[in-house]
C-alpha cells in the first residue's frame, strides 16, 4: 500500500509543480465557482458508496447541503488510494475515506498536508460471514481456515488483523487470508465456493444471508471496539482558503447525523433509498438497523485525540507506520466543534 501510494503521491506532486510553473507569478489556480443562485460548487470524492455512510446520504437527500449554500457533486473513488489521488490532484475538494491514508500521505512528504476535519464512523462496518450458522462462534473458529480479506494497508484488513491479534491468533500461521480478490468481488467469490469465511461490508453480508450462501457470525465493529474508521478530509490549503465552505459542509453533515440518530431505521431507509435503487427497502432497513445497533455513527463529527492514537496503534500493529505524525498535524476539530454549538 505504501509503495503504491508513494508512486501516486510522486506523480501527483510532479503534475502540481508542472502546472504551477505554467502560471505567471501572482496567479492562482482556478478556484471553486459560485452559481447565479449563490451556491458554491464542492466536489466530494467518497471511498465507496455504502449504506455504512447513511448520515451523508441523509444530508444529501434532505437538502441540507443546498440549505448551506453548497452545490455538492458526489464522486465514488472505489478505493482510498484513488480518493486520495483525486484530492491531491485537485479533482476533488473534499475526500471521504479511512484516515490512515492521510497518515501515509503525510509520511510520504506531502507539503500540503491532507487534514481530517470530521469523523463520521466510529466502528468498523464489516462482518465475518461463514458458510454455516455458528451461534457459538469464537475467533478460535477461524484457525486453519481460509478467509477472504481486504487490501493490505486498508482499514478493513487492518482492523480484521487487529481483532485476530487481540484474540491471540497468529495471522501468518493460524489461518490463510486471501487478499487477491477485489473489494467489490469477495461476496461473489464466496458465493461461488471460495474460502471458508469472508469479511464483508453491506449489502454483501445481507445478500449472502438472503440467498442462503452465508451467515453473519461476527461484527468486526463490535469486536474491534471504537475505531476512527472513516473521516472527511481536505488539503490544509483548502481549509485555510475556504473555511466558510468547510464549515457549511460540516454543518450539513451534522444535520444528517442528527436526523439519522433521531429517526427509525425504516424512516432512514426511505430517505436514502434514492441512493441505493438496486436495494429493496426491507434490506436497506435491515442493514441500517444492524449498523444502528452497533453504534456505528458518532453523535458529533469531532475526531478526538484518543481515536487518533488508536489509529496509529492499529497502523503500527499492521507494520504500516514509518513515522508518527502528531494529532495537530493531521486533525482539525474546529469545524466539527462549531457545528454542534
Model confidence at 284: pLDDT above 50: yes
Domains of the chain, start order: 2-17+38-123+228-339 (3.40.190.10), 127-224 (3.40.190.10)
Three-class DSSP category at 83: helix
Model confidence at 16: pLDDT above 60: no
Give the model's pLDDT for residue 34: 62
Residue 35: pLDDT band (50, 70, 90) is low
Give the model's pLDDT for residue 32: 56
Residue 217 CA to residue 139 CA, distance in Å, equals 10
| Residues ≥6 apart with Cβ < 8 Å to 179 | 149, 150, 151, 152, 157
pLDDT digits (tens, 9 = 90+) for 39-52: 999 999 999 999 99
Model confidence at 3: pLDDT above 50: no
Is residue 261 within 8 Å of residue 59, measured between CB atoms? no
**DSSP calls for 10-71:** HHHHHHHHHHHHHSPTT-------B-TTSPEEEEEEES---GGGHHHHHHHHTTHHHHTTEE
Q: Which helix (H) or strand (E) holds 200?
A: strand 197-200
Model confidence at 36: pLDDT above 80: no
Distances (CA, A) of 219 to 178, 202, 251, 260: 19, 11, 30, 21
Residue 45 CA to residue 89 CA, distance in Å, equals 12
Model's pTM, two decimal places? 0.85
Whose cell is 480484521? That residue is 160
Residue 313 CA to residue 247 CA, distance in Å, equals 30
Residue 218 CA to residue 134 CA, distance in Å, equals 9
pLDDT digits (tens, 9 = 90+) for 77-97: 988 999 999 999 999 999 999
Considering only CA atoms, which of 40, 13, 12, 1 is closest in space to residue 241? 40
Give the model's pLDDT for residue 247: 98
Mean pLDDT across 320-331: 95
Cis peptide before 39, with omega less than 30 degrees from 0?
no
Distances (CA, A) of 110 to 3, 44, 220, 313: 15, 20, 32, 22
pLDDT digits (tens, 9 = 90+) for 19-29: 333 333 322 33
Whose cell is 492514537? That residue is 309
Identify the weakest region by mean pLDDT among 15-19, 107-111, 167-171.
15-19
β-pair partners for 17: none
Amino acid at each position: 500500500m505504501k509503495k503504491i501510494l508513494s508512486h501516486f503521491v510522486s506523480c501527483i506532486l510532479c503534475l502540481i509543480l508542472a502546472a504551477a510553473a505554467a502560471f505567471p507569478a501572482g496567479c492562482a489556480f482556478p478556484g471553486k465557482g459560485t452559481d447565479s443562485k449563490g451556491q458554491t460548487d464542492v466536489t466530494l470524492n467518497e471511498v465507496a458508496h455504502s449504506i455504512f455512510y447513511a448520515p451523508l446520504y441523509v444530508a444529501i437527500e434532505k437538502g441540507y447541503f443546498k440549505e448551506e449554500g453548497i452545490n455538492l457533486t458526489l464522486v465514488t473513488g472505489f478505493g482510498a488510494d484513488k480518493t486520495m489521488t483525486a484530492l491531491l490532484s485537485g479533482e476533488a475538494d473534499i475526500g471521504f475515506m479511512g484516515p490512515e491514508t492521510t497518515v501515509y500521505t503525510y509520511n510520504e512528504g506531502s507539503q500540503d498536508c491532507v487534514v481530517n476535519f470530521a469523523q463520521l464512523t466510529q466502528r468498523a462496518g464489516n462482518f465475518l460471514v461463514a458458510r454455516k450458522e455458528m451461534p457459538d462462534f469464537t475467533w478460535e473458529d477461524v484457525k486453519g481456515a481460509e478467509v477472504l480479506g481486504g487490501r493490505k494497508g486498508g482499514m478493513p484488513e487492518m482492523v480484521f488483523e487487529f481483532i485476530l491479534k487481540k484474540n491471540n491468533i497468529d495471522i501468518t500461521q493460524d489461518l490463510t487470508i486471501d487478499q487477491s480478490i477485489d473489494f467489490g468481488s469477495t461476496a461473489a467469490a464466496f458465493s461461488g465456493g471460495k474460502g471458508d469465511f469472508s469479511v464483508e461490508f453491506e449489502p454483501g453480508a445481507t445478500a449472502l444471508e438472503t440467498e442462503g450462501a452465508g451467515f453473519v457470525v461476527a461484527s468486526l465493529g463490535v469486536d474491534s471496539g471504537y475505531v476512527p474508521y472513516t473521516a472527511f478530509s481536505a488539503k490544509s490549503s483548502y481549509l485555510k482558503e475556504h473555511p466558510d465552505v468547510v464549515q457549511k459542509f460540516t454543518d450539513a453533515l451534522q444535520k444528517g447525523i442528527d436526523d439519522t440518530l433521531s429517526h427509525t431505521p425504516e424512516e432512514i431507509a426511505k430517505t436514502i433509498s434514492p441512493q441505493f435503487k438496486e436495494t429493496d427497502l426491507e434490506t436497506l432497513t435491515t442493514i441500517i438497523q444492524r449498523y444502528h445497533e452497533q453504534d456505528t455513527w458518532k453523535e458529533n463529527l469531532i475526531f478526538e485525540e484518543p481515536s487518533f492514537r488508536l489509529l496509529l496503534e492499529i497502523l503500527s500493529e499492521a507494520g504500516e507506520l514509518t513515522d508518527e505524525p502528531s494529532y495537530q498535524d493531521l486533525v482539525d476539530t474546529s469545524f466539527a466543534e462549531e457545528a454542534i454549538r
